[in-house]
A and B are shown apart, each in its own frame.
Chain A
Amino acid sequence: MDWAEKYRPAHLDEVVGNSTALRQMLDWARTWSRDKKPLILYGKPGTGKTSSAHALAADMGWEVIELNASDQRTRAAIERTAVSGSTTASLTGAQRKLIVIDEADNLHGTADRGGARAILDLIRGSRQPVILIANDLYAIPGEIRSRCDGVQFKALQARSIAPRLRYICAAEKISCSEQALHQIAEAAHGDMRAAVNMLYASASGRERLSEEILPSGKDDRSSIFDLIVAIYGNTAPEALLKIAYDVDETPDTLIQWIEANLEGIPEIDDLSAAYSCLSRADEYLGYTYRQQYHTLWRYATSLMVLGVGSVADRRGLHARITPPERWKRMSSYQKQKAVRSSMLRKVSSSLHMPQRTFLETYMSPLGIVIDRDPLTYAREFSLDADELDLFLHDRARAASVTRALAAEEKAEVTKKERETKSRRKQEEGGKMRQKELPAKREEAPLPEPPAEKSSQKSQKTLFEGF
C-alpha cells in the first residue's frame, strides 16, 4: 500500500505543521451553525489540506461526503451527491455530515458546465458544513470565493517533515540515517506527500536506508540559485551551460531570473551590455515559439548565460538572489484580469450585448448610473465587491454595498425558511409528513459563473471529464 495513504493522519493532532490553519478549522467546526461560511482550504500540494479536512471530521464525529476529482462535476452530479447529502439525515446517526469538495479550482470547461453554479447553490442551501479544497484560491470563481472563508496552508518546513519520516521508518521497521531523512525532507520543498513518496521510493524493500541513492526530489528550484551564482563566478562556458540545462527550467524562466538578479552589475555601461544580451536572447525565445523550432532555444540560453556571464566577469555575487519581481506583478495582474472578465460576462449577458460593445460604449455611462444606487445594480448583475469596485473606484464603499447585499440575501433565506416551516406545521396536522424539501429559493438566476481559465486556450477544455 502506498505510504502516503497508509500514513495519512487520522486526527488533527497528527497533522504536521500549519497550526494556525488547524486551529481556525477547529474553531469553525466547534461553533458551526448554518450561519457559518464554508471554508476554502488552499495551498500547495502536499501541505495537508485533504488530510486535515478528513481528520477534522473524524475528531468531530462527523461523517464525510466527498466529492472529488474523479467525479464528473456536472451540476446534476453535485446535486445528487451533495445537496441530498446536505439536507437529509444521516443513516449512521452521525450528528453532521461534512461535505468536502476537492479540487474546487478545476471547475471549468464543458464537462463541468454548471458545476460552479451547483456548488454555489450547495453552499447557500446546505444544512451541513462544507469545505472546499483548492491549490489556487484565485482560480475559484469569485461568487464562490466571496461566500467562503479562506484558510491558507503553507509549505512545510523541512524540520517538521523529518520527524514524520522518522515515525514512518520506525513503523515500517527500517533503520534510517538522520542525514538521509534530512536530505529527503529538504528535497521535498515543503510537500509532505512528495517526502513520503520519496521515502517509500527509496526505502521500500530495504531494511536500512543511508544517504546513498535517493530518487530525485520534486523540481529542485534551488539549482536556479546555483546558476545565478555561477554566472557571477569564475565558471567555464561549457560548465555554465551545463548548469543551465541541469536547472530543468525552460529558458524563458531562466531569463526572468537572470534579469531579476542584474543588481550585481551597477555600472550603466556594463548593465546595458548585459541587457542587450538578454534582449537578443529574448528575440531568440520569440523565434523559437513563433516557428516551433526548438533548436533556437540554445542560442537564447547561451546568450543570456554566457553573455551576462562575460559582462559580470567574475565579480562575484554580493546581493541576495531574488525571484523575478515581474511574477508578483503578474499574479496581481491576473487577479485583476479575472475580476474584469467575470464582470464583463455578467453585465454584458444581462444587457444582451457583446462584451466589447459594452466595454467601449456603455461602461462609463453605466458607471455613473451605478454610482447613484450601487445596491440595486449589484443585486441586478450579482456583482461581488471586486467587480463593483470597477465601477465605483472605491474599495471600501464597494465592500459595504456587497455586505449589505449579503445581509439582505440572508434575511430572505430565513424568511423563506420560516414560511416553509409554518406551512409544514399546518400540513402535518392533516396529511402524512411529506418528504423534506431542500430549501431552494426562487431568485433572479445568476449568470453562468466565470470559467476563468477556460477562455484563454480552447485546447485546454478538451481533456475535461477525463
Chain B
Amino acid sequence: MEDTTMIWIEKYRPVTLADIVGQDDIVERLQSYVRTGNLPHLLFTGSAGVGKTTAAVALAREFFGESWNLNFRELNASDERGIDVVRNQIKQFARTSPLGGATFKILFLDEADALTPDAQAALRRTMESYATTCRFILSCNYSSKIIDPIQSRCAIYRFRSLSAEAITKEILRIAENEKISITGPAIQAIVYIAQGDMRKAINALQGAAILAQEIDAGMVYAITATARPDEIEDLLSTSLSGDFEGAEAILHHLLQDRGIAPNELINQCYRTIVRREMDPNLRVALIDQLGTTDFRLSEGASTDIQMEAMIAQFVLQARKHG
C-alpha cells in the first residue's frame, strides 16, 4: 500500500509495548508478564483513544511472535449484533488449543460493558472453563458495569486520558516521520481538540497534512471544523456582557462562515464554561441552557432558532445573576 493512502492511526499504531506513550506504569507491568510467560485475565478500563486495544494487540505480538494472529482474536461486544455469533465465536476460539507452540491464546473483548449482567455471568463461566487454554482481556469504559465475579478474577488496569505531553510527543514523532513541519500553536490546537484521545489527535494531524506541508493552528481548526478557543471566549463574553446583537453576529459567523457544527459549538462552549472564572450559580444556569439546547437539537429542532434562543438565554441569565 502507498504511504500516502494509508490511514495514520493504523500506520502509527504502536507495534511493541515499549512504543506505547503515556501509560508507562501499565506498560511496565504488561512487559513483566511477557518476561515470565504468565498472564492472568485482564480488565482494561479507560475512555476512547488511550491505548487499550493497542496494548492488547502489542501484548499478543510479544507473547506469540510470528504466530500472534493465530492465537489472538478481537471481538466487540456491542458490534456483533447476533449475540449467538459472539457466543459461538468466543467458545469456538477459546476451546481449541493454542497454535505455534504457544501455551495459551488471548481473546480481546472490546466494550465488554455492553454485555448485560446475565451475559456477563455466562461469560464468566466460559472464562473459568477455558482458563487453561485461553486468557481474556476485557476492555470497557466503566469498570463498575462489569459484574463483581468477573472483576474479582481479573487484574484491573485503568488507562488514563493521555496528557498534553504524551500527545505532543507522538505528534512530533509522526510529523518528523512524514517530513511535515508543524508550528507550536498548531500542536496546542491538536491537543485542545484531542482531549486526551490519541486517535482524534492523529486524525486531525493527517487531515491538516493534506492541506499543506507546513501546518499552522488555523488549518487544524479548519480541517476539524472547530472554533478557536478565543472565538468561543469572544462569543461568551459578548453575550454575558448583555450585547445580544454582537453575540448573534459572532454566532452567525461561526455557524455559517466557518461551518462549525452546532453540536461542536455547544461542546466547546461547555468546555469553556466549566473552566471559566464566573459566578457559580450563573455557571450552573448556563450549563443547563446548553443541555436544553443540545437535547432539543437531538430531538430534531431547528438549529438556527435554538442556537439563537440559547444566546438570548445567556444574556438573560447573565443579567439575573449579575
Contact = CB atoms under 8 A, between A and B. Distances in A.
Asked whether A and B interact, the reply is yes
Interface of A: 1-2, 4, 44-46, 68-70, 103, 106, 108-109, 135, 191, 193-194, 197-198, 200-202, 204-206, 213, 215-219, 237-238, 241, 248-250, 253, 277, 280, 284, 287, 291, 293, 295-296, 298-300, 302-303, 306-307, 309-310, 313, 453-454, 457, 459-466
Contacts of B38: 1, 204-205
The size class of the interface chain B forms with chain A is 35 or more
A303 B288 contact: yes
Contacts of B126: 70, 466
Of listed B40, B90, B154, B281, residue having the most chain A CB within 10 A:
B40
B12 interface: no
A466 B91 contact: yes
B291 A299 contact: yes
A106 B121 contact: yes
Interface string B143-170: 1110011011111111000000000000
11 contacts: A4-B153, A45-B148, A46-B152, A191-B152, A193-B152, A201-B155, A204-B36, A250-B144, A303-B287, A453-B118, A463-B118
B155 A238 contact: no
Nearest to B281: A310
Q: Interface of chain B, helix or strand or loop or mixed? A: helix
Contact of A253 (B121, B144, B270, B298): B144
Contact of A296 (B32, B142, B294): B294
A356 to B, nearest CB: 25
Given A2-B131, A218-B152, A299-B291, A310 B116 contact: no
7 closest cross-chain pairs (CB), A and B: A299-B291, A70-B129, A310-B280, A466-B122, A201-B155, A463-B119, A69-B125
Contacts of A193: 152-153
A217 B154 CA distance: 10
Contacts of A109: 118
B149 A277 contact: no
Contacts of A191: 148, 152
Contacts, number: 174
B152 A298 contact: no
Of listed A206, A250, A287, A466, residue having the most chain B CB within 10 A:
A466
A296 B29 contact: no
A202 B29 CA distance: 7
B124 interface: yes
A32 to B, nearest CB: 28
Contact of B116 (A108, A302, A459): A459
B29 A213 contact: yes
A461 B33 CA distance: 36
Of listed B115, B143, B144, residue having the most chain A CB within 10 A:
B144
Contact of B45 (A2, A248, A295, A299): A248
Of listed A216, A280, A313, A464, residue having the most chain B CB within 10 A:
A216
Contacts of A296: 291, 294-295, 298
B2 interface: no
A460 B116 CA distance: 6
B105 interface: no
A44 B148 contact: yes
B209 to A, nearest CB: 29
A249 B40 contact: no
Nearest to A298: B270
Nearest to A135: B149
A218 B158 CA distance: 10
A241 B274 contact: yes
Contact of B156 (A217, A313, A453): A217
B188 to A, nearest CB: 18
A208 B25 CA distance: 16
B234 to A, nearest CB: 21
Nearest to B287: A302
Contact of B287 (A217, A219, A306, A463): A306
A340 B257 CA distance: 63
B294 A69 contact: no
Nearest to A188: B152
A200 B155 contact: yes
A280 B119 contact: no
A378 B115 CA distance: 39
Contact of B152 (A106, A194, A206, A461): A194
B123 interface: yes
Of listed B90, B149, B157, B284, residue having the most chain A CB within 10 A:
B284
Contacts of B87: 462-463, 465-466
Contact of B84 (A108, A200, A302, A462): A462
Contacts of B291: 284, 296, 299-300, 303
Contacts of B35: 205
B212 interface: no
B96 to A, nearest CB: 16
Contacts of B281: 310
Contacts of B154: 197
Contacts of B287: 299, 302-303, 306
Nearest to A277: B284
Contacts of B283: 237, 306, 310
A103 B280 CA distance: 50
Given A2-B40, A69-B128, A213 B274 contact: no
Nearest to A3: B40
A276 to B, nearest CB: 10
